[in-house]
């Protein structure tokens, strides 16, 4: 058995991604490892309160992921990583030697994705393992 | 294995709490410091107004030099407060701890005020230079046209911050590199031309003769105290933002030494580029040309005359890219400050909201943008010289909160000051000196500018426009602060704190904040 790494931010497409990841996990008998990533931009002073607020939010998102999985009678592992989402997913997937990375997609156009930095878009470039993109 | 494995577990990674160490390289730190100060934009916005100040004449370079002294002192305060405050806060957090919630609140307010006012200035410069870039000279001179472009500029920049888009380190380095190279080319070409050709610049019917640089330009004693101080209030503005590279300290590689060196390198770069460009610009066109085009010293014919077409566009691009960097480093810290004040229950709770998807302080950011636009539209209608008056007004706010930070440093570390000479000098004497110089500038400039004869616009209610804006906004802050005491009683009853002596020991590691670790 191996691990399915899934990116999660409690949005609709992330919920869809987690559902799919759990399905795939069941099919392969793999663990499902949920990664909640956030990045604190250091530039801009008064970082502490902002960082603390983001950390709190990450905890809430983990809770939402656990609840969603419980609704499907599935158990998951969770991890909060302070890193840009795509980098965090690749790092965790490499560490766990995951079978697959699952992320949700908001259906942004390729141009828009490139301009504003879409996570699936970035993952395609940097991941060295299969990436499954789930539309919302 | 059948079914699904294990319950929620922690990952095997070692805890990595608080700030990410080694996240920012030495060069990035220098780039952050210099880019936040935005040299090309600062020069474009301020240089003309400095030479326009009565009695300054050729002493622009001297003012640049002297104005740096208080900034250096305050940077020391930033450095030590930053070491002490594990939260990596700024003036609001620090002053609240050292001097109490009322002054802390006012420090935060001054940051907000300065940043909202500077947005009008940035927007105006962006408007004028955008039109100049495409050679639309008549549009660049139209208040309505530049205001519209300025508003669009503020909206776009606010959107970028709200959306959480950040330029990559490499893009920033490229833009800053281009900005620097352009400024250097401009200066070198201008100076060589001055020595070789003795150019005369014709604008309309006025001829501006070039002047070879003289040692007296760098001598602050060549002019009286009054023009020196009035010029310094403006010059404080051009160094504003430099403290950023001191506050990103903790994450620099080799945190013990690199940040200090990065601060020194960026300092030297800034002082050098300001001196060189100021000298070159006034040698080429004499202070007369700079004063005549105070609103847009490069776009108003100087860059074209020095560099010729199409190279002069480089200068305009440099100013625009510099202004955009400056807008980012304006909106971000202000939104963070109001966010922080809201989270510490000193401001309305709504400002502590974070956008679900972009993970940015969205309400604070949008409010900043909206207030900036309101302010911009308001001042365009009131002041006949938006740029000059707003810079003077910002000078008051900057002098106020930088000064507070200087005093806060000595007060916060008061028990450490007498332990050795180094502490006494670097943590006590110099920050207080910086605070005292800024206080002096604040008071002297207040007396000078409240006399409307010394201002660029007609007075408001009999008070000079810059003073009306600068002091009026701080007084409004006092009123709001007194009102805020009622709902935010808990914040306003916070006790004073004093620095932990361990902070100054060698090998001290800033304690991590909770929550940033792994679950």
d(CA B83, CA B459) in angstroms, rounded, equals 44
Asked whether residue B518 is assigned to any structural domain, the reply reads no
Is the minimum CB–CB distance between B168 and chain A shorter than 8 Å? Answer: no
Is the Cβ–Cβ distance between B492 and B486 less than 8 Å? no
Asked whether residue B137 is assigned to any structural domain, the reply reads yes
Angle between helices B39-52 and B169-197 (to 10 degrees): 40
Dihedral over Cα of B245, B246, B252, B253: its sign: positive
Say which CATH number the domain at B336 has: 1.20.1740.10
Please report which confidence band the pLDDT of residue B285 belongs to, taking 50, 70 and 90 as the band edges: confident
Q: Tell me which residue of A64, A35, A127 sits closest to A90, measured CA to CA.
A: A127
Residue with the two structure tokens 């030479």: B51
Fill in the DSSP letter of residue A5: E
Fill in the DSSP letter of residue B299: I
> Lowest-confidence range among A91-105, B59-73, B385-399, B450-464?
B450-464
Is the minimum CB–CB distance between B166 and chain A shorter than 8 Å? Answer: yes
Nearest by CB to residue B336, choosing from A44, A62, A82, is: A44
Q: Tell me which residue of B158, B451, B439, B194 sits closest to B324, measured CA to CA.
A: B158
Nearest by CB to residue A11, choosing from B164, B352, B357, is: B357
Is the minimum CB–CB distance between B247 and chain A shorter than 8 Å? Answer: yes
Average model confidence (pLDDT) for chain B? 81
pLDDT over 70 (residue B480):
yes
Q: Which two tokens stand for residue B56?
A: 């300054």
Asked whether residue B9 is assigned to any structural domain, the reply reads no
How large is the average pLDDT for residues B68-79? 86
* Residue B74, C-beta contacts closer than 8 angstroms, at least 6 positions apart: B243, B402, B403, B405, B406, B431, B434, B435, B438
Top residue of B10, B11, B111, B510 to mutate, by most chain A CBs within 10 Å, is B11
| Closest chain B C-alpha to A92 CA, distance in angstroms | 9
| Closest chain B C-alpha to A99 CA, distance in angstroms | 15
pLDDT at residue B453, as a whole number = 67
The alpha carbon of B236 is separated from its chain's Cα centroid by a whole number of angstroms, namely: 9
pLDDT over 70 (residue B259):
no
| Closest chain B C-alpha to A121 CA, distance in angstroms | 15
Q: In chain A, whose CA is at the least distance from the CA of B24?
A: A42
Is the Cβ–Cβ distance between B386 and B71 less than 8 Å? no
Nearest by CB to residue A50, choosing from B6, B339, B514, is: B339
Asked whether residue B302 is assigned to any structural domain, the reply reads yes
| More confident: A25 or B313 | A25
**Which tens digits make up the pLDDT trace of B133-168?**
888 877 777 888 889 999 999 999 899 888 877 766
Asked whether residue B515 is assigned to any structural domain, the reply reads no
Please report which confidence band the pLDDT of residue B515 belongs to, taking 50, 70 and 90 as the band edges: very low
| More confident: B370 or B309 | B370
Nearest by CB to residue B513, choosing from A43, A52, A92, is: A52
d(CA B395, CA B233) in angstroms, rounded, equals 5
Please report which confidence band the pLDDT of residue B245 belongs to, taking 50, 70 and 90 as the band edges: low
Nearest by CB to residue A41, choosing from B166, B244, B337, is: B166
> Lowest-confidence range among B162-176, B415-429, B484-498?
B162-176
| Closest chain A C-alpha to B332 CA, distance in angstroms | 5
Q: Which two tokens stand for residue B65?
A: 């030099």
Q: Which two tokens stand for residue B250?
A: 């903790």
CA distances (Å), origin B136, targets A46, B296, B350, B401: 41, 14, 42, 39
Q: Which two tokens stand for residue A105?
A: 């997609």
d(CA B466, CA B394) in angstroms, rounded, equals 8
pLDDT at residue A113, as a whole number = 63
Q: Do A48 and B336 touch (CB under 8 A)?
A: no
Q: In chain B, whose CA is at the least distance from the CA of A27?
A: B3
Asked whether residue B517 is assigned to any structural domain, the reply reads no
Is the minimum CB–CB distance between B23 and chain A shorter than 8 Å? Answer: yes
pLDDT at residue B260, as a whole number = 59
Is the minimum CB–CB distance between B88 and chain A shorter than 8 Å? Answer: yes
> Lowest-confidence range among A84-98, B403-417, B450-464?
B450-464
Nearest by CB to residue A46, choosing from B12, B92, B516, is: B92
d(CA B317, CA B44) in angstroms, rounded, equals 12
Using an 8 Å CB-CB cutoff, list chain B residues near A11.
356-357
Number of domains in chain B: 1
Asked whether residue B512 is assigned to any structural domain, the reply reads no
Fill in the DSSP letter of residue B204: T
In this prediction the ipTM stands at 0.84
**Which tens digits make up the pLDDT trace of A32-64?**
999 999 988 766 677 788 888 999 999 999 999
pLDDT at residue A37, as a whole number = 92
d(CA B243, CA B398) in angstroms, rounded, equals 12
Asked whether residue B20 is assigned to any structural domain, the reply reads no
Strand partners, A12: none
pLDDT at residue B369, as a whole number = 93
Q: Tell me which residue of B305, B231, B304 sits closest to B274, measured CA to CA.
A: B231
The percent of residues above 70 in pLDDT, for chain B, comes to 83
Q: Compute φ and ψ for A126, nearest 5 degrees.
A: -105, -20
How large is the average pLDDT for residues B98-115? 93
**Which tens digits make up the pLDDT trace of B200-219?**
777 777 778 888 888 888 98
- β-strand A31-38 against A3-7: which pairing, if any? parallel
Is the Cβ–Cβ distance between B260 and B75 less than 8 Å? no
Domain of B266, in residue numbers: 27-499
* CA angle centred on A72, ends A68 and A75, rounded to 5°: 80
């Amino acid at each position: 058995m191996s691990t399915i790494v899934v990116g999660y931010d409690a949005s609709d497409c992330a919920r869809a991604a987690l559902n799919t990841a759990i399905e795939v996990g069941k099919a392969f008998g793999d663990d499902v490892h949920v990664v909640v990533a956030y990045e604190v931009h250091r530039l801009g002073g008064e970082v502490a309160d902002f960082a603390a607020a983001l950390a709190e939010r990450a905890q809430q998102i983990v809770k939402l992921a656990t609840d969603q999985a419980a609704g499907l009678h599935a158990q998951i592992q969770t991890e909060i990583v302070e890193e840009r989402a795509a980098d965090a997913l690749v790092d965790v997937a490499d560490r766990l030697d995951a079978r697959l990375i699952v992320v949700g997609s908001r259906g942004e156009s390729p141009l828009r994705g490139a301009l504003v930095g879409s996570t699936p878009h970035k993952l395609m470039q940097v991941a060295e393992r299969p990436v499954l993109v789930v539309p919302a | 294995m059948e079914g699904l494995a294990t319950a929620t577990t922690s990952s095997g990674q070692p805890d990595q709490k608080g700030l990410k160490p080694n996240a920012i390289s030495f060069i990035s730190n220098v780039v952050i410091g210099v880019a936040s100060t935005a040299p090309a934009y600062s020069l474009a916005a301020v240089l003309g107004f400095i030479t326009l100040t009565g009695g300054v004449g050729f002493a622009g370079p001297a003012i640049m030099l002297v104005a740096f002294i208080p900034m250096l002192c305050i940077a020391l305060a930033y450095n030590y407060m930053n070491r002490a405050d594990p939260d990596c806060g700024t003036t609001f957090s620090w002053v609240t701890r050292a001097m109490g919630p009322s002054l802390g609140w006012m420090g935060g307010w001054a940051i907000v005020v300065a940043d909202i006012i500077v947005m009008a200035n940035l927007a105006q410069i962006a408007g004028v230079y955008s039109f100049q870039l495409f050679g639309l000279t008549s549009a660049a001179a139209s208040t309505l046209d530049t205001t519209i472009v300025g508003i669009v500029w503020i909206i776009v920049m606010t959107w970028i911050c709200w959306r959480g888009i950040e330029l990559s380190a490499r893009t920033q380095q490229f833009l800053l590199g281009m900005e620097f190279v352009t400024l250097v080319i401009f200066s070198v070409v201008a100076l060589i031309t001055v020595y070789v050709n003795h150019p005369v610049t014709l604008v309309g019917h006025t001829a501006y003769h070039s002047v070879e640089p003289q040692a007296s330009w760098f001598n602050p004693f060549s002019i009286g105290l009054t023009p020196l101080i009035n010029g310094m209030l403006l010059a404080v503005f051009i160094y504003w933002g430099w403290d950023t590279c001191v506050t990103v300290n903790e994450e620099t590689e080799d945190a013990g030494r690199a940040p200090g060196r990065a601060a020194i390198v960026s300092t030297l770069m800034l002082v050098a580029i300001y001196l060189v460009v100021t000298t070159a610009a006034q040698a080429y066109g004499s202070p007369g040309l700079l004063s005549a085009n105070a609103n847009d010293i490069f776009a108003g014919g100087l860059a074209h005359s020095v560099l010729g077409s199409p190279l002069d566009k480089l200068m305009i691009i440099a100013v625009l890219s510099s202004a955009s960097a400056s807008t980012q480093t304006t909106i971000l810290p202000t939104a963070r400050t109001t966010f922080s004040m809201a989270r510490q229950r000193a401001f309305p709770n709504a400002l502590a909201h974070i956008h679900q998807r972009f993970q940015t302080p969205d309400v604070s950011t949008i409010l900043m943008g909206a207030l900036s636009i309101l302010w911009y539209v308001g001042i365009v209608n009131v002041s006949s010289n938006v740029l000059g008056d707003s810079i003077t007004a910002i000078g008051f706010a900057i002098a106020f909160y930088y000064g507070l930070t200087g005093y806060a440093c000595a007060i916060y570390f008061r028990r450490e000051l007498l332990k050795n000479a180094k502490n006494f000098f670097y943590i006590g004497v110099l920050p207080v000196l910086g605070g005292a110089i800024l206080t002096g500038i604040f008071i002297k400039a207040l007396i000078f500018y409240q006399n409307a004869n010394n201002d660029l616009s007609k007075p408001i209610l009999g008070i000079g426009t810059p003073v009306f804006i600068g002091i009026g906004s701080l007084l409004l802050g006092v009123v709001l602060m007194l009102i805020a005491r009622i709902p935010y009683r808990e914040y306003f009853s916070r006790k004073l704190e004093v620095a932990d002596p361990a902070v100054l020991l060698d090998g001290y590691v800033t304690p991590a904040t909770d929550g940033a670790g792994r679950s």
